[in-house]
Amino acid sequence: MHQSQLLLNTLREAPGDAEAVSHQLLLRTGLIRQLAAGIYTYLPLGRRVLRKAEQIVREEMDRAGAQELLMPALQPAELWQESGRYEVYGPELIRLSDRHGREFALGPTHEEVITTLVKQEISSYRRLPVTLYQIQTKYRDERRPRFGLLRGREFQMKDAYSFDPDWEGLDRSYWSMYHAYHRIFERCGLNFRPVEADAGAIGGEGGTLEFMALADIGEDTIATCTCCGYAANLEKAESGTVLASAGEAGVGAAGGYSANESGKPQPEKFHTPGIKTIGQLTEAFGIRASDILKTVMFMADGEPVAVVIRGDQEINELKVKNYLGANEFEIADPEAVQALTGVPVGFVGPYGLNLPVLFDHTAAEMEQGIAGANEPDYHYRYLVPGRDLELTRVGDFRTVQEGDPCPRCAEGVLKFHRGIEIGHVFKLGTKYSEKLGATYLDASGRAQPMIMGCYGIGVSRILSAAIEQNHDEHGIIWPLALAPYQVHVIPVSAKDETQMALALDLYEKLQAERVEVLLDDRNERAGVKFKDADLIGLPLRIVIGKDAAQGRIEWAERRDPAAKMLLTAEEAVERVLEAVAGK
Amino acid sequence: MHQSQLLLNTLREAPGDAEAVSHQLLLRTGLIRQLAAGIYTYLPLGRRVLRKAEQIVREEMDRAGAQELLMPALQPAELWQESGRYEVYGPELIRLSDRHGREFALGPTHEEVITTLVKQEISSYRRLPVTLYQIQTKYRDERRPRFGLLRGREFQMKDAYSFDPDWEGLDRSYWSMYHAYHRIFERCGLNFRPVEADAGAIGGEGGTLEFMALADIGEDTIATCTCCGYAANLEKAESGTVLASAGEAGVGAAGGYSANESGKPQPEKFHTPGIKTIGQLTEAFGIRASDILKTVMFMADGEPVAVVIRGDQEINELKVKNYLGANEFEIADPEAVQALTGVPVGFVGPYGLNLPVLFDHTAAEMEQGIAGANEPDYHYRYLVPGRDLELTRVGDFRTVQEGDPCPRCAEGVLKFHRGIEIGHVFKLGTKYSEKLGATYLDASGRAQPMIMGCYGIGVSRILSAAIEQNHDEHGIIWPLALAPYQVHVIPVSAKDETQMALALDLYEKLQAERVEVLLDDRNERAGVKFKDADLIGLPLRIVIGKDAAQGRIEWAERRDPAAKMLLTAEEAVERVLEAVAGK
């Protein structure tokens, strides 16, 4: 491609609302342009990168035996009503009506469509398993679209769905996709980690893994072990069973009272006028947050439940929700707390509370603690879990913290990273096949629900993740496999006939070898050309300057601009072919 | 691909509502399945054909120097309001609101988006010309979706847009696309004709051409000359200037009166009680339709206009609309006719009519004629165009008929065909660049509107057109370039180890040569396999039967099943490679 003809406008500055580096660079290089919030046009360079990513995904899906199809974006609302998701999905689901008033959704995902299709097409175990995928435009009306291609409203996804006759089959299909994902992200040159994620109602070990590209801009926090291979999403990360105490057990001393050494004192109410928060309590009485049995009220499918945790820890709502198997789960609002307990938030405690109470391990393991008295302006002290508080429902309800011991190995501690979710493998089980009636006849002629898995890759997100991980202060540094063109041929002066002749010669030779070349034939100053070249970030660069008369060029790689070399044109072609072959 | 693993269900019968052969075969072969009216899923075989068509389109667009991008389907309503099309487009435009109540359209086409983009990106003549294209999903809420992929509501299109600094440039861009289209449809193996079509307000010779695949199911009628290369859409086809008279001039004799031989009689009113139609008039008075000056009232942008044509001819409304340069044009309803003329439809005539009157050539050339008297139950005879009727506005307002003389050459006559519109090249001019402000600075620094062209290809329609043109009573006969797989390898019995071993050997050898092979490894009766193979229609076939022990196979081509040959496996591989290379 001759750069003078390419629709390509580089910008010195990105618009002010572009926070993420990848968003800034996508705009500055003119790879994308915004049409509306979270809705982008891919310009020619951007389209090329997107196609490279698509092609890598397609090749690895095919290699894994998945079959490509293409489903519509317009999906009848009836399908979503049948699966029960039409209401649940909320305002992220874009809805519309056709000219006859029939309702449709613009697909954010295709479980309903694919399950209905496979139900129609496959009726016997002999036709299973099958894994189907598509690379397609998806729609999600994000409340807050941001970070360019990372959280858009119209975006490119690869979604795959597996159908197996049994759970062992699902396991095989699932891990086959897992390995394909590994190859895809490796080929894309990404630094990524598969991490355990929340599987909701399905659960089970490894029932869902998220592929995370490590990047500071990532919206997800992941916890990895410094020793073993454990890695999990923060919301999923398990709490190590042996959590170091936040100090010696010593409510007594710290609380300013003397404990009965032979036994423990009985619960004792004390006056705490207007003291509603842990901060106020620790300040007023000189105690530590870890001396307090923090109690929080939630509503789970409309029913109240209290969760108790050590005061210096945070409750992981998702863990509680999964423990209860609740569909809807949220913190109870102050009015509800008042109505249920008769006291304001801040004076609620587990002692004498006539509601279900869950204890996090950190609370259950406390020797004694302080909690609200369920009476305005009063708290209890000397509450002993197991003695005064019934420990029938104890679990891991805690959000892990950096430095916590690893839940898997003895040696490691957890370290936090930020990650961009670029892929997701998920064991769906029979959720959709049962709701939508996708059954098959087994060898004995009995109808059985198909066992499903679903597997997503954010194809457009790959672009953002790759840029987040591959850039410097001058611009993008494309991995070879994703680069819009592989080689940038830059004659320093387009007016210099010797330079242009050599440049064109190289351009044609490389193209004849099917190398993708961008020739900067623009009549611009050398400084402008180099600045643009750094910004666009093609991995290999051939600069043709004053040595052109001797048939020599300057070779450089975008990743290591210092390591320039003077080569003959023939040597340069050799080098390019070597680099491209080794990709 | 092993057929036993392919998601492929053939059907004996297509659903009853599938009228077109291509629709029936697409469903019977399981290439597509309907999700909702006009909305289809492409199953793996269908997806492969679609990708082949996409790839041919992409390669030829790239070769023509067009640059690929990808625009969103979600388009802000503001853009459509700016271009003035938001209201005009009517119910075919799918509209929706986002969570903030902002209106969007689901793009049926992208003139607004691309013009706005190019306006932002290009400001100087030095950056022009540029042609941009995308292959993308389009949405059109058809009133009556039908014929499978021919008239769908969600479909695949290639749309391209050229931007030039002047009209000569547009000409070059336009014809470059024209030639690319030729190559595309030739590579797809289609029998097609580029025909002149209506260019609306732009007009001009060759200002728009439609590429028509000839097929009986086609919704469009095209007229081609039996002698010269003239071909036009029926609505556009020009009327030959010398149209044979429908008989001798002879209103007099036929009308039962004796004409003044030395001159023509003066207009004479006569009583025609209750006689409102041409049929009634010819029957009651023994005259011919061609003796009548048929008069029809229309509303053009709200203003009435009468059009007069010879009674045996049909008015082409589009020609009238274009002649008047009207935006809205429709036949006047009976109430409006009554209000405007004081008489019911059927008694309106051009004589003494106080409204603008257009005459088609066939009416203007009549020696004399009969027409409504603008008085209930009366008509005039002896009306002489030019004497009694002012011929200031005469034009070609007639729909051509089969057998009409060619408007271009002296010898030919027009022949009618049915066609499927598979492509369209169109000189847009400045329509969008002016409305959306897409200007550039010319060499002297003056702002000028960009001159645009737009170019569409119905990528999914190519599948239907190819099937309409390539099938027999047993199924599809895929052109090699579009076939989902190139070769069908069929062991007659999957249980016969010798056959399967040879089949697998051939399968692997061909795959190693990058040939696309479908291996029918199903444990089905031979009859079932052959029936399916005929239906799916892969162009090359290798049947492995009882001669497998001698290393021999039966070679056949789907197009010519009679010409079977017994070959060695090596010869078969040779033949396949030759066929594939020659594609």
3-class secondary structure, A58: helix
For the beta carbon of residue B437, count every other beta carbon within 10 angstroms: 13
Contact criterion met (CB < 8 Å) for A76 and B36: yes
> Which carries the bigger pLDDT value, residue A457 or residue A239?
A457
Interface A:B, Cβ pairs < 8 A: 144
Give the best residue of B2, B5, B7, B8 to mutate against chain A (max A CB count within 10 A): B7
In this complex, the residue of A35, A113, A153 whose CB is nearest that of residue B41 is A113
Is residue A47 less than 8 Å (CB to CB) from chain B? yes
Closest approach of A88 to chain B, Cα-based (Å): 15
Tokens 């699932």 belong to residue: A174
pLDDT of residue A242: 57
Contact criterion met (CB < 8 Å) for A154 and B6: no
3-class secondary structure, B17: coil
Q: Tell me the residues of chain A between 373 and 412 that have a Cβ less than 8 Å away from chain B.
A: none
Is residue B74 less than 8 Å (CB to CB) from chain A? yes
Beta strand residue intervals within A450-571, DSSP E? 451-458, 471-472, 475-476, 487-491, 517-519, 540-544, 552-557, 560-568
Q: Which of A23-27, A203-207, A246-250, B101-105 has the lowest mean pLDDT?
A: A246-250
Contact criterion met (CB < 8 Å) for B130 and A104: no
CA-to-CA distance for A424 and A443, rounded, in angstroms?
32
Query: Helix count (H) and strand count (E) of chain A?
Result: 16, 31
Give the best residue of B3, B9, B41, B47 to mutate against chain A (max A CB count within 10 A): B41
Give the best residue of A8, A42, A69, A157 to mutate against chain B (max B CB count within 10 A): A69
Which residues in chain A have their CB less than 8 angstroms from residue B132's CB?
7, 44
Give the best residue of B99, B521, B522 to mutate against chain A (max A CB count within 10 A): B99
Q: Mean pLDDT of successive 10-residue segments in chain B (583 residues)?
A: 95 88 96 97 98 98 98 97 90 96 96 97 96 98 93 97 96 97 97 86 66 92 91 87 50 40 82 92 92 96 95 93 90 93 92 94 94 95 94 93 89 93 94 95 96 96 97 97 98 95 97 97 96 97 95 94 90 95 76
Contact criterion met (CB < 8 Å) for A117 and B73: no
Q: Which of A363, A397, A13, A424 lies closest to A178, judged by CA?
A: A424
| CA contacts within 13 A on the Cβ side of B561 | 16
3-class secondary structure, B136: strand
Contact criterion met (CB < 8 Å) for B5 and A75: no
**Residue of chain B whose Cα is closest to the Cα of A77:** B36
Angstrom distances, CA of residue B224 to CA of B182, B214, B234, B242, B424: 18, 11, 9, 17, 18
Pairing of the two strands A74-76 and A103-106: antiparallel
For the beta carbon of residue B286, count every other beta carbon within 10 angstroms: 11
In this complex, the residue of A47, A48, A132 whose CB is nearest that of residue B7 is A132
CA-to-CA distance for B264 and B384, rounded, in angstroms?
8
Contact criterion met (CB < 8 Å) for A68 and B44: yes
**Residue of chain A whose Cα is closest to the Cα of B135:** A47
Beta strand residue intervals within A198-267, DSSP E? 208-214, 220-225, 231-233
Angstrom distances, CA of residue B401 to CA of A266, B236, B287, B398, B419: 107, 12, 22, 9, 16
In this complex, the residue of A6, A70, A122 whose CB is nearest that of residue B50 is A70
Give the best residue of A43, A118, A124, A128 to mutate against chain B (max B CB count within 10 A): A43
In this complex, the residue of B46, B70, B120 whose CB is nearest that of residue A50 is B70
CA-to-CA distance for B357 and B343, rounded, in angstroms?
17
In this complex, the residue of B40, B47, B130 whose CB is nearest that of residue A68 is B47
pLDDT of residue A563: 84
pLDDT of residue B410: 78
Is residue A62 less than 8 Å (CB to CB) from chain B? no
In this complex, the residue of A47, A102, A154 whose CB is nearest that of residue B69 is A47
Beta bridge partner(s), residue B476: B471
Contact criterion met (CB < 8 Å) for B113 and A41: yes
Residue A206: pLDDT band by 50, 70, 90 thresholds? low
Q: Which of A354, A158, A156, A349 lies closest to A269, judged by CA?
A: A349
For the beta carbon of residue A506, count every other beta carbon within 10 angstroms: 24
Closest approach of A439 to chain B, Cα-based (Å): 16
A124 neighbors A441 (Cβ within 8 angstroms): yes
For the beta carbon of residue A191, count every other beta carbon within 10 angstroms: 16
Q: Which of A163-172, A261-270, B88-97, B374-383 has the lowest mean pLDDT?
A: A261-270
In this complex, the residue of B44, B121, B153 whose CB is nearest that of residue A69 is B44
B501 neighbors B551 (Cβ within 8 angstroms): no
Contact criterion met (CB < 8 Å) for A122 and B7: yes
List CB contacts of A153: < 8 A, sequence separation 6 or more: A36, A37, A38, A39, A139, A140, A141, A142, A145, B74, B98
Is residue A484 less than 8 Å (CB to CB) from chain B? no
In this complex, the residue of A9, A102, A154 whose CB is nearest that of residue B121 is A9
Contact criterion met (CB < 8 Å) for B70 and A132: no
Closest approach of A177 to chain B, Cα-based (Å): 17
Residue A245: pLDDT band by 50, 70, 90 thresholds? low
Which residues in chain A have their CB less than 8 angstroms from residue B104's CB?
36
Give the best residue of B33, B34, B74, B440 to mutate against chain A (max A CB count within 10 A): B74
Is residue B305 less than 8 Å (CB to CB) from chain A? no
The H or E element that residue B464 is part of is helix B459-469
What is the side-by-side order of every strand in the sheet holding B357-360? B329-331, B293-300, B303-310, B357-360, B394-395
Buried b (16+ CB within 10 A) or exposed e, B384-414: bbeebbeeebbbbbbbbbeebbbbeeeebeb
Structural domains present in chain B? 3-71+110-238+416-467 (3.30.930.10), 251-395 (3.90.960.10), 485-581 (3.40.50.800)
Which residues in chain B have their CB less than 8 angstroms from residue A511's CB?
none
Which residues in chain A have their CB less than 8 angstroms from residue B436's CB?
none
Alpha helices in B31-148 (DSSP H): 44-63, 77-83, 85-88, 111-121
Which residues in chain B have their CB less than 8 angstroms from residue A40's CB?
72
Contact criterion met (CB < 8 Å) for B47 and A70: yes
pLDDT of residue B64: 97
Q: Which of B380, B504, B456, B360 lies closest to B138, judged by CA?
A: B456
CA dihedral angle for residue B369, residue B372, residue B377, residue B378, rounded to 10 degrees: -50
pLDDT of residue A16: 83
The first and second tokens of residue B264, run together, are: 């023509």
**Residue of chain A whose Cα is closest to the Cα of B70:** A42
Which residues in chain B have their CB less than 8 angstroms from residue A140's CB?
none
Contact criterion met (CB < 8 Å) for A65 and B137: no
**Residue of chain B whose Cα is closest to the Cα of A115:** B35
Q: Tell me the Ramachandran region of residue A200: left when phi exceeds 0, alpha when psi lies from -120 to 50, beta otherwise.
A: left
Q: Tell me the residues of chain B between 100 and 159 that have a Cβ less than 8 Å away from chain A.
A: 102, 104, 106, 113, 117-118, 120-122, 130, 132, 134, 137, 139, 141, 143, 153-154
Beta bridge partner(s), residue A568: A552
Mean pLDDT of A22-31: 97
Buried b (16+ CB within 10 A) or exposed e, A87-104: eebeeebbbbebeeeeeb
Closest approach of A40 to chain B, Cα-based (Å): 6
pLDDT of residue B380: 96
Mean pLDDT of A424-444: 95
3-class secondary structure, A235: coil
Share of chain A above pLDDT 90, in %: 85
| pLDDT digits 0-9 by tens, B39-89 | 999 999 999 999 999 999 999 999 999 999 999 999 999 999 999 999 888
Closest approach of B28 to chain A, Cα-based (Å): 12
> Which carries the bigger pLDDT value, residue A217 or residue A448?
A448
Closest approach of A217 to chain B, Cα-based (Å): 25
Which residues in chain A have their CB less than 8 angstroms from residue B117's CB?
33, 41, 43
Average pLDDT score over chain A: 92
